Structure 1
Amino acid sequence: MERATLATNGPFWRIGLPWFLASLPAAPLAVLPHEAGHYVVYWLLDVPDLRFYPMAVGWTNIPFRTAIATGDLAAAAAIAPIRAVALAHLAGPVVTYLVVALCCWACAWWKPLPVFVAIAYLSQVRVVAGVRHIADELLGRPIPDNRVFDELQFSHLTGVPVEWPIGFGVAILAVSGTWLLRFFPSGQRAIAIPAMMAGLVTGAMLYAGVLAPWLSP
């Protein structure tokens, strides 16, 4: 099967504008599946006081985190099943990787639409938090007590070294990110990539500042 390619001819607006516009909806299409992954596992495992928001999943987790931080596992387990919370933290990244895989599949076997490329890249921006954490560890910098991201929470709850899930995420980004470069128009990447990045930033700001607050209960 011959791989489809994106159009490469035309003036600036015919190259950059489609990538900019296609990247605008990437934020909700990247964030919502990730949060839905958390929510479904929490719901299936009966975590209390569960609420779904466009940017996060809420539940009575501050007392739970306090109990975990102080080593009081019995108190934490009385609030919510510890393994359930650990699985829920892992579910978000797993769903994100599935979204990336689906976008790659769509580009390869259906149509390499700019929106698929944009979603795949934006979904993996979250790996920056993990890379920063590893860098802080390697450089001996203090780890802030309020640092929270899924892989770190999963590590705290299970004892699995945080480097493992972070390393897996970095590997997925390296492989998929390199592979997806082929779907930028040949000879026009200097236009398409900045246009996509501008669309991603604009879309993320609109989602976080306008759409998500409007959708929140």
Structure 2
Amino acid sequence: MNFIFHQGKPAAPVLVLLHGTGGDERSLLDLGHDLDPQASLLGIRGNVLENGMPRYFKRLSEGIYDEEDLMFRGQELAAFIQEVAKEKGFSIEQVVLVGYSNGANIALNLLLEFSALFQKAILYHPMYPVSKLPNHLLAQTNVFMSFGLKDPIVSVEDSKYVQAIFESRGAQIEYVWTPSHQLTYQEVEKSRKWLKQLVEK
């Protein structure tokens, strides 16, 4: 997978940056620096192309996932992050997944399917219309999420479903509602404060 790695302070978090459809490994670097200037940044480009635009997994149509591909790509991404951790000398425990839109969706997959590895995440505007979900508890999982009240891609119902996935499994969650699907200063600032509190625990 194509990636970029910026080394931060050794004890600081490692922010794994997962872009939206059409982005690349550099798209969220500025965001990552804003969230924590001391963190290491690992930007990863999605391995799937849809009309020439990078994504992390295939979909059958708007809002309909190719669930088999989602699971395969989630395994692929989890293995890749572990490989980079060994190569760059950081611990998986330092990882905070930071995903926007399609990147938030694949991050959500990692939190559910690889919950022993990935337990911290910032998810901007996720949705997860997946038929089969693992039932295990997520008591060690900490997640910040943002949702749009008039998001043209993710409905309020879909957003509340994502909240319920985590709440019903005992995860520690914080979330904020924003106007639409675009990132706002408000949600970035709130997620920055959330991350600072998480790191200081």
TM-score under structure 1 length normalisation: 0.30
**Is the strand fraction higher in 1 or 2?**
2
Bigger Rg, structure 1 or 2: 1
TM-score, normalised to structure 2, is 0.31
Larger RCO (alpha carbons 8 Å, 6+ apart): 1
